Amino acid sequence: MTDVQATGRLLKRAQYRNHRAMERAPGKGRVVEHRLTAAGKKMLAAGNAVALGVATRAFAQLSRAEIAKLHELLLRVGEVIE
């Protein structure tokens, strides 16, 4: 599943639970655009805060040099995937 698909599923779930996280707006031609509402932006900020906390704890034991090396390796892996 891609990030876009995962985000879409989360937004649909939020809409189903009546959280009004997004709104549909007409785009060019037959395109329908989706935009975050104020409630959706608030949910996104809360989710980002949780993700940042998890990442901070996960990488707390690594030195700056180790994090830099990990970043370099992940970029190399990403090049192969693309």
Tens-place pLDDT, residues 24-79 = 888 888 888 888 888 888 888 888 899 999 999 999 999 999 999 999 999 999 88
The sign of the torsion formed by the CA atoms of 65, 53, 7, 32 equals negative
- pLDDT score for 63: 97
Number of domains in the chain: 1
Contacts of 45-48 with CB under 8 Å at 24 or more apart are: none
Retrieve residue 20's tokens. 């009004």
- pLDDT score for 1: 55
